[in-house]
């Protein structure tokens, strides 16, 4: 990792053996409990939840990232590595960071079946054990609602990104079309938790958490404003799939 400007010593310090070294914050403890159970089903359930659109959402982010062969990418809250691997497929070296050990273990297992340049680190998005001004793109996908502090996360992403490069967030949003919205809410609040129950009570809980977090989520414009507040510029918003997700990206000065 050293050749990429990543401080090995810091990585070790922030890469705890268990999930006990995560700070006092109650939200992060809740999130870790939520995602530590059932990482094997995550990719499949995301397909159901997104009605198969998740690949397209990630591909849109990658196209917007406009990377060159061999670029360095930071993927925050990488989970099982869906976006991490997709970035790596386009020829980048990618570091995936996540707070939940079980999600990272799944990502590492999946790495064994692929030839790709990826590394995974267990750390909090709000306190990255990485050097400043290193990455050609920093991304966070389907997780901005989950982090404890969006501002600190974006600030850390900005810090680790090179000048002139992009910080990007892809996340679920509230569709703006008022006719479409009730159908969407019926799907996420009623149908999905019911489908989740077929798999396990735990997945039903995850889907309910997801629905609530989407309903309470900040607008993409607000994420763009926070990007400006942490010193990024030229925020750009792309809504996808009737506004079910939005990509927000901005550049480091």
Ligand X SMILES: C[S@@+](CC[C@H](N)C(=O)[O-])C[C@H]1O[C@@H](n2cnc3c(N)ncnc32)[C@H](O)[C@@H]1O
Total site size for ligand X, rule CB under 6 A: 22
137 binds ligand X (CB under 6 A): no
CB of 62 to ligand X, least distance (A): 12
122 binding ligand X? (CB under 6 A): no
**Ordered DSSP codes for 165-218:** EEEEEEEE---S-TTHHHHHHHIIIIIHHHHHHHH-HHHHHHHHHHHHHHHTPP
Nearest to 10 by CA among 131, 136, 161: 131
Binders of ligand X among residues 178 to 217 (CB under 6 A) are: none
Binding mask of the shown chain, residues 146 to 165, with x at each position contacting ligand X by CB under 6 A: xxx-----------------
Is residue 251 within 8 A of residue 224, CB to CB? The reply is no
- For the CB of residue 32, give the shortest distance to ligand X in the complex, in Å: 6
Which range touches ligand X (CB under 6 A), out of 109-117, 142-150, 173-181, 240-248?
A: 142-150
Considering only 12-20, 106-114, 138-146, 228-236, which stretch makes contact with ligand X by CB under 6 A? Answer: 138-146
Could you tell me the smallest distance in angstroms from the CB atom of residue 179 to ligand X? 28
Under rule CB under 6 A, residue 226 binds ligand X: no
**In contact, 250 and 235? CB cutoff 8 Å:** yes
Neighbouring-strand partners of residue 252: 232
We find the least distance from the C-beta atom of residue 147 to ligand X, in angstroms, to be 4
Q: CB nearest ligand X: which residue?
A: 79
Please list every residue from 30 through 59 that binds ligand X, using CB under 6 A: 31, 35, 46
In contact, 69 and 91? CB cutoff 8 Å: yes
Please give the structure tokens belonging to residue 201: 């009570």
The SS3 assignment for 246 reads strand
101 makes contact with ligand X (CB under 6 A)? no
User: Is the sign of the CA dihedral 61, 95, 54, 179 positive or negative?
Assistant: negative
Strand intervals (E) in the chain? 72-76, 93-98, 118-122, 135-141, 161-172, 232-240, 245-252
Binding pattern for the stretch 54-83 against ligand X, x by CB under 6 A and - elsewhere? -----------------------xxx--xx
- Angle between the 39-49 and 192-199 helix axes, to the nearest 10 degrees? 150
Question: Quick one: tokens of 89?
Answer: 């497929």
Q: Whose Cβ is closer to ligand X: residue 110's or residue 233's?
A: 110
Q: Which stretch binds ligand X (CB under 6 A): 4-12, 137-145, 184-192, 217-225?
A: 137-145
Residues that bind ligand X (CB under 6 A): 28, 31, 35, 46, 77-79, 82-83, 98-100, 103, 124-126, 141-143, 146-148
């Amino acid at each position: 990792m050293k050749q990429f400007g990543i401080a090995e010593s810091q990585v070790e310090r922030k890469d705890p053996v268990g999930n006990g070294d995560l700070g006092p914050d109650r939200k992060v403890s809740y999130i870790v409990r939520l995602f530590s159970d059932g990482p094997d089903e995550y990719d499949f359930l995301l397909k159901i939840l997104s009605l198969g659109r998740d690949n397209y959402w990630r591909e849109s982010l990658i196209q917007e990232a406009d990377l060159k062969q061999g670029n360095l990418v930071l993927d925050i809250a990488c989970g099982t590595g869906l976006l991490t691997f997709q970035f790596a497929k386009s020829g980048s070296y990618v570091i995936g960071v996540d707070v939940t050990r079980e999600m990272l273990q799944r990502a590492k297992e999946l790495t064994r079946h692929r030839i790709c340049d990826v590394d995974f680190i267990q750390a909090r998005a709000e306190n990255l054990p990485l050097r400043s001004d290193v990455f050609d793109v920093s991304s966070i996908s389907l997780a901005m609602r989950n982090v404890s502090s969006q501002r600190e996360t974006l600030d850390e992403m900005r810090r680790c990104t090179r000048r002139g490069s992009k910080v990007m967030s892809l996340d679920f949003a509230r569709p703006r079309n008022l006719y479409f919205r009730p159908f969407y809410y019926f799907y996420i609040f009623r149908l999905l938790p019911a489908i989740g129950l077929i798999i396990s009570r735990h997945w039903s809980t995850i889907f309910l958490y997801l629905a609530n977090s989407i309903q309470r989520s900040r607008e993409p414009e607000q994420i763009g404003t926070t990007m400006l507040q942490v010193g990024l510029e030229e925020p750009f918003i792309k809504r996808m799939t009737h506004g079910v997700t939005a990509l927000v990206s901005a550049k480091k000065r």
